[in-house]
Structure 1
Amino acid sequence: MLDTQPPRPPAPADLAAWLKLFGSAEMPVLRQTARRLDEARQNIDRVTGRDITDIVLQDPLLAIRVLAYIQSFGSKRLRSDITNIASAVMMLGVEPFFRKFENPQTIEATLGRKPQALLGVLQVILRTQRASRYAHDWAFARHDMNVEEVALAALLSDLAEILLWCFAPELAIDIRSRLQSDRALRSGGVQREVLGFPLAELQLALCREWHLPDLLTTLMDSSSAHLPRVQNVRLAVNLARHSIDGWTDEAIPDDFAAIQTLLNISRETLLERLQLPPELLPGLVKQDTRAAEGRFWRP
């Protein structure tokens, strides 16, 4: 039988080509997000900006679409003040928001014939949602002046990886397979082998290309790791990554020690904040914390 599958288009040759690909593509959203938006639109007379914000903050791709779109409005100074979704929605207005983001394409439809890729991207999004919750909680505990800004940065922390799963799933699968086959490999090194650059480089390039607020870019940039707000984001991302498959990863004790230092709290208090199942608590309390001394956070 002849192969009737269309030939796979070649991967973009360099970083600029990747930026062009992502810039011209329609960002899909989660099916659940599309459903919630439709329900809200049907009750538009009772929907508030806060309601819309709550929907957007559960979906990293819709969040980046909103932030990128808002850059076409108003003066540069006004746009630079939009560093969270609530402000963006307020600037757009409820009805214009629904007109702009009506009938979005969904991730599930886009990757419906590629179940392995669909599972991969949903796992990454689940991880970013968890990271965002952690970042929000810790920013609130630190009395941060703009808690949502920190949570949004954590939600968007793996944007480049999400886009890779959506638009070049074969490459994303290749990267994951290599990392799974050899646990000694570093993610950035494998990404460079497959793509020609690490995803962190693409992430920052996307931030610049889409003119995202400087503060959000800083919060996602590991070179600013000395800043407490950046530590907040990165520690949330790290803990979400290490705990997404359970609480046995050997890196978790170091994560806990760094979070305790950031928040100036005990292990018991941290575990209470994380709201973990009671049966896990005894083992986590007794975990070796020797690495806490002299090791705050490392990118």
Structure 2
Amino acid sequence: MSDAPPLAPDGLDDWLRRLQREDLPVLGDTVQALCNTAQDHGSSATDLARVILRDAALTSDVIRIANSAYFNPAGVRISTVSRAVIVLGFDTVRAIGLSLTVIDTLVRGDQHSRVRRVFRSSLHAAVQARALAEATGDPAPEEVLIAALLYRIGELAFWSLADDATAAGLETALAEGAGSPADIERDTLGFALRELSRALARDWRLGDLLTGALRPGAPRDGRARLTRNAHAVVADLEAGRLEAATNRVAREARLEPVEAGALIERATAALPELGRALGVDVGARTDAARPERLAEPTRQPDPALQLRVLREMSATAHESRDLQALFDLAVEGLYRGQALDRCALAALRRDRRGLAIRAALGVPAALYGALERVSLEPGSALAGLLAEGRPARLEDPRRRQVMAEAAAQLGPVVFVAPLQLRGRTIGVLLAEPGAASGEALREAFDGFCHLAEQTMLCLGRLTA
């Protein structure tokens, strides 16, 4: 429970304002950004990586979980968010990021016992929902898993952040009341906690699937019904109503009762494995399996990660013909492996007179646009640099000449490398070394050149 000023039960709108403005603004921003990557069909692995990479601890946890048996049963080694998307899929990586964000904001720490119970039930519903989605041929079972995990987000928020008096008052009312939990909540708080879940799903734009599952009345969408039924199945199981749970699954998945029972057993058996993957102990305190986060470390070059990135780039070149996946890996390698700032890979436009950024990390929107406006007209400084065919470390005055209007938004040193394919320049790799100087600056430039060379080798393999 929170030590913050009490969340007074003055109505749903007051709770929403307090949660969004004072207690959960970061959660709302991060969850919304992750959900937006799913709703925007033009989103790439770079868009997803950009959201995750805002938080170094989240990045580390996503990669750790991407290597877990639950999400990666084949045991493919993963060292970058971009590679995780290639191996596990966009939806799975997004699901991991959303799960971790909710856990670290609402579940860890000195929680009310209800937080642990609600979260365990939500995890259980998530594995049942995923199993049902797979059994019914759903094209994106990870979306259903996430909708089930977030279905009770209003309850998690309340029990995590309410002051002692408010939480104790509702706890007592639920224990002693004779009506339904929703009616007791309305009498005590002025609203039902499911209504808080629905309002958060709406205001944070957590997706049509979750919103539909939380809408009053019977869900009109089959996937929304499945999400809600997964929680009903878990409620039946927790109350000892195994036959009711089995019949519910049998109807939803059109299975024989014996098959439905086996599906429930398999999903339930996967619950501890999902808990371990997410770093929570589903049998005890939900924060017992992993310590609280430490302060984010200062970004430093990681030679071991640099090597793994190079290997993942080679593997991608051999396994697929996905140029965007290679671009994403190259930029993440610069940003995380070499700890460079403002990294971007841009392709030459069709008219070869300007750039179109294909992957970027750490690049604000204003700089993004300025880079795309740098001229490649014949005789321009950037066109001349690319014609030289080798990486360059730009410092003033050449930095201002080459980068034009973008120079004002860049640091005093910029690394630039032409990307060539069979003797023809097709793009450019750019990065800033931040505050590096002396030997550290030389090593940063050497690493940048090495990755640019590896990118060109992989481009050659992909397009052979």
Normalising by the smaller structure, the TM-score range is: 0.5 to 0.7
Contact 2:213 2:227 in 1 (8 A): yes
Given candidates 196, 199, 204, the residue that maps to 2:198 is 204
Partner of 2:260: 270
Higher-helix-fraction structure: 1
- Map of 2:231 onto structure 1: 237
Shift in Å at residue 241 of structure 1? 2.6
Equivalence for 1:125: 119
**What's 1:92 paired with?**
50
Shift of 1:176: 3.4
Alpha-carbon spacing, 1:89–1:150, altered in 2? closer, same or farther (3 Å): farther
SS at match of 2:234: helix
Structure 1 counterpart SS, 2:112: helix
For 1:1-299, list aligned pairs within 5 A: 9=6, 11-27=8-24, 66-70=30-34, 80-81=39-40, 90-92=48-50, 95-98=53-56, 107-109=107-109, 111=110, 117-168=111-162, 170=164, 171-182=166-177, 184-244=178-238, 248-249=240-241, 252-275=242-265
Give the fraction of aligned pairs with identical amino acids, expressed as a percent. 22
SS at match of 2:116: helix
Residue 178 of structure 1 and its aligned partner are, at CA, apart by: 2.6
TM-superposed CA distance for 1:101, in Å, is 7.7
Q: What amino acid does structure 2 have at the position aligned with 1:212?
A: L
The residue number in structure 1 matching 2:374 is none
Bigger drift between 90-99 and 139-148 goes to 90-99
Whole-angstrom distance in 1 between the partners of 2:198 and 2:212: 9
Alignment-mate amino acid for residue 152 of structure 1: I
Separation (CA, whole Å) in 1 of partners of 2:129 and 2:251: 15
Give the letter for the 1:81 counterpart: D
Alpha-carbon offset, residue 158 of structure 1: 0.7
Query: Which residue identity is paired with 2:180?
Result: R
Name the SS for the 2:217 alignment partner. helix
How big is the alpha-carbon RMSD for the aligned residues of Structure 1 and Structure 2?
Answer: 3.7
Q: Distance in 2 between matches of 1:235 and 1:7?
A: 35
Q: Could you say if the C-alpha distance between residues 230 and 207 of structure 1 is closer, same or farther in structure 2, counting changes exceeding 3 Å?
A: same
In the aligned structure 2, how far is the partner of 1:24 from the partner of 1:102? 28
SS in 1 for 2:263: helix
Instruction: Decide whether aligned partners of structure 1 residues 260 and 10 sit closer, same or farther in structure 2, where only a CA change above 3 A counts.
Output: closer
Q: Give the whole-Å Cα distance in 2 for the aligned partners of 1:79 and 1:267.
A: 35
Aligned-pair distance for 1:13?
A: 1.6
Q: What is the CA distance between 1:92 and its match in structure 2?
A: 2.2
| Residues 1:18 and 1:229: Cα distance change in structure 2 (over 3 Å) | same
Cα distance in 2 for partners of 1:208, 1:146 equals 21
In 2 relative to 1, CA 265–165 (structure 1 residues): closer, same or farther, beyond 3 Å? same
CA distance in 2, matches of 1:259, 1:108: 32
Structure 2, unpaired ranges of 5+: 62-103, 269-464
Specify whether residues 7 and 263 from structure 1 end up closer, same or farther in structure 2 by C-alpha distance, changes over 3 A only. closer
TM-score, normalised relative to structure 1 = 0.62
Alpha-carbon offset, residue 255 of structure 1: 3.4
Please report the TM-score for the alignment, with normalisation by the length of structure 2: 0.42
Count of equivalent residues: 222
Question: How far 1:248 moved relative to its partner?
Answer: 2.0
Contact kept? 1:132, 1:236, Cα under 8 Å: yes
User: Do the aligned partners of 2:155 and 2:194 also contact (CA within 8 Å) in 1?
Assistant: no
Partner AA of 1:188 in structure 2: A
Q: What is the deviation of 1:91?
A: 4.8
Answer yes or no: is the 8 Å Cα contact 2:212–2:219 preserved in 1: no
Structure 1 gaps of 5+ residues are 1-5, 29-60, 112-116, 278-299
